[in-house]
Amino acid sequence: MLLLTVVLLSGTLAVIAEEIDWLIYDEIRVTPVGDRLNEGLLFDKIKEAYPKIGLSAFNTANDRTHTAASAMLTLPDGGFRNAWIDPYTGEVKGDTPLLSVGNFISFLHASLYLPVIGRSLVNAFGVFCLVSLITGLISYRYFWRGFFQLPRWKRGPRVYLSDLHKLVGLWSLWFVLIIGVSGSWWFYQNPLERYFGVPKLTPSYLTEPVVDHGDLSRLGPNTPIRASAEDVVTAVKTEHPDFEIHMLNPPDHNGLLYKVRGSYGDFLVSRTNSVIYVNPYTGKVVENRPASDWNGMQRFDAAMRPLHYGSWANSGVADLLVKLIWFLFGFALTGMSISGVMIYYKRTFKARNKNLPQPSYGRKLKKLWLILRPWGGSMSGFKYVNVLFVAGILAGCGIAYTLGSQGTVGSGFVYQKQAIGPWTLSFNAVAGLLEKDLPPIRAGRRTTLNATIEAGDASQIKFMYARVGKPRTTRAPGDVIHGPLGMQHANLKIPESLKDSAELWITIEDWSGQFYQSSWSLMPNGKETRDL
């Protein structure tokens, strides 16, 4: 129940996480003055303010009149921050930690900061809520009669708490149903779909369009000039004036299109579910994929998040009102979790005291033993499970803090600097962000391989690939290394059969079509590859 209380309380606060950050950080608050500037122009201005720093996921805040627009920064030392810009004046207001107070709460609710199992464990509590709802209605006969029965405060604390618990539970039935259904749906996806191979219920989404290889070849042997973000947004607004832009995602590598995310006002979908793809070299719209084209199961899947977090009203006073309702009922469920433990404890307290000897040292020792023993009594052995998980959460919070300030630097396997053609590169392999202290190379799994261009002009690289084992041909060189500057990485596939002599091979293609290759020992050998 301790873990359930943590999940419920963090989820309650996560509903208003944006508002919490808005109150705390001056950089986020703005005063509306005139019309908003072109969203792409704002992104271009942040790029000018933070040269040679990777930028990604520009949030326009078009649905927040008093909130600055923002982009995530990937710092040279490996850390992450959010940069903020006034959408009315174009003034860059500064940057804040990625792990802000609101984000800390949101990440806590989503994963409990527990590596590997965190998200699955949180989703399991959704199943618990749904089962509790069903069993509660079955065990509480004629429950509909209790909606207007006030708690009996004259009958003592235990009776009062029990009546209050039932009353709050009855009025929260609709809310528990939403949390239970959405959490159970996510539990089916993670871990059942992800780790146990159960049938996938949501049809796969269409593959993203890419820049045709022929079009890339026609750009010539020199580094091409990309369209500005302002030009990209202007093209989208010209062809789709009814499209509200909420996010800009520049291409992660040279073969991808610019993604402009937003909304056509569809109900019960995220405000970034509709996507318009733009060619980054010509600035022309390639394809429009509105959320209204999705089938029923895809729409059901998309509806889970706005329903779970009460964000379906999208903007304005209605958005704040819905969030406050979700916050109040979330707070009520948190109180029910606490009161449930108190009611159970009070029920067992008298029975336990009857079996204790008369007041003496023996009574105190037996009382202590009844509390500490791993069976019987309140929570039984689950109290130690709860303590173990809470200790894991605290450790995970420490990992998350270091991620925000230094990324994955200093962890996993490091592949020392080495020249590949006119560039000098180094690499760092980690199992994942929260899993950065786990062994990164495991047979049959994928690992995150981070690339750092130590020397050379990165813009001259057309494509960069990573592969375990030397590629037999340049037509299949491995997994593409992608991402913004400072966060370039590949989701490297590790073979099922892994030899001690295995090597990591990097292949680079420049704009002229020339290929360059080099290799490292995949496993640490204390020379070109070290275990940090």
Quick one: three-class SS letters along 50-62?
CCCCEEEEEECCC
Residue 509 lies in a domain: yes
Q: Which residues pair with 426 in a beta bridge?
A: 452
Q: Contact, 496 vs 504, CB < 8 A?
A: no
Q: How confident is the model at residue 348 (pLDDT cuts 50, 70, 90)?
A: low
129 and 229 assigned to the same domain: no
Residue 20 lies in a domain: no
Q: What is the pLDDT of residues 468-517, one digit of tens each?
A: 999 999 888 999 999 988 889 999 999 998 888 999 999 999 999 999 99
> Distance between CA 422 and CA 457 in Å, rounded?
8
421 and 517 assigned to the same domain: yes
Q: Residue 60, CB half-sphere, CA atoms under 13 Å: how many?
A: 23
497 and 459 assigned to the same domain: yes
Q: Contact, 428 vs 412, CB < 8 A?
A: yes
pLDDT at residue 145 in the model: 81
92 and 132 assigned to the same domain: no
Q: What is the pLDDT of residues 143-157, one digit of tens each?
A: 888 888 888 877 777
Q: Contact, 137 vs 169, CB < 8 A?
A: no
223 and 288 assigned to the same domain: yes
Residue 304 lies in a domain: no
Residue 367 lies in a domain: no
422 and 457 assigned to the same domain: yes
- Output the domain CATH number for residue 507: 2.60.40
Determine the structural domain holding residue 281 and report its residue range: 213-293
Q: How confident is the model at residue 179 (pLDDT cuts 50, 70, 90)?
A: very high
Q: What is the pLDDT of residues 182-201, one digit of tens each?
A: 999 999 999 999 989 899 99
End residue of a domain, out of 277, 293, 309: 293
Lowest-pLDDT range of 102-116, 273-287, 341-355, 374-388: 341-355
Q: Contact, 530 vs 414, CB < 8 A?
A: yes
> Distance between CA 39 and CA 237 in Å, rounded?
11
Residue 239 lies in a domain: yes
Task: Count structural domains, the chain.
Answer: 4
518 and 438 assigned to the same domain: yes
445 and 526 assigned to the same domain: yes
Residue 270 lies in a domain: yes
Answer whether residue 370 shows pLDDT above 80.
no
Q: What is the pLDDT of residues 31-51, one digit of tens each?
A: 999 999 999 999 999 999 999
Which tokens is 225 given? 């000039």
93 and 130 assigned to the same domain: no
**Residues 59-81, mean pLDDT to the nearest whole number:** 92
DSSP-H helix ranges across 211-295: 213-217, 229-239
Q: What is the pLDDT of residues 266-284, one digit of tens each?
A: 999 999 999 999 999 999 9
Q: What is the pTM of this model?
A: 0.89
- Output the domain CATH number for residue 239: 3.10.450
Q: How confident is the model at residue 82 (pLDDT cuts 50, 70, 90)?
A: very high
478 and 331 assigned to the same domain: no
Residues 6+ apart with CB under 8 A from 422: 456, 457, 460
pLDDT at residue 365 in the model: 67
pLDDT at residue 213 in the model: 86
What is the per-residue DSSP string for 400-448?
Answer: HHHHHHHTTTTSSEEEEEEEETTEEEEEEEES-STTTTS-S--TTSEEE
Considering only CA atoms, which of 57, 71, 55, 63 is closest in space to residue 36?
A: 63
Residue 128 lies in a domain: yes
Residues 6+ apart with CB under 8 A from 359: none
Residue 27 lies in a domain: no
HEC assignment per residue over 351-370: HHHHCCCCCCHHHHHHHHHH
289 and 140 assigned to the same domain: no
Q: Which residue has the tokens 């590859």?
A: 529
What is the per-residue DSSP string for 63-118?
Answer: T-TTB-EEEEEE-TTS-EEEEEE-TTT--EEEEEESS-HHHHHHHHHHHTT-TTTH
418 and 482 assigned to the same domain: yes
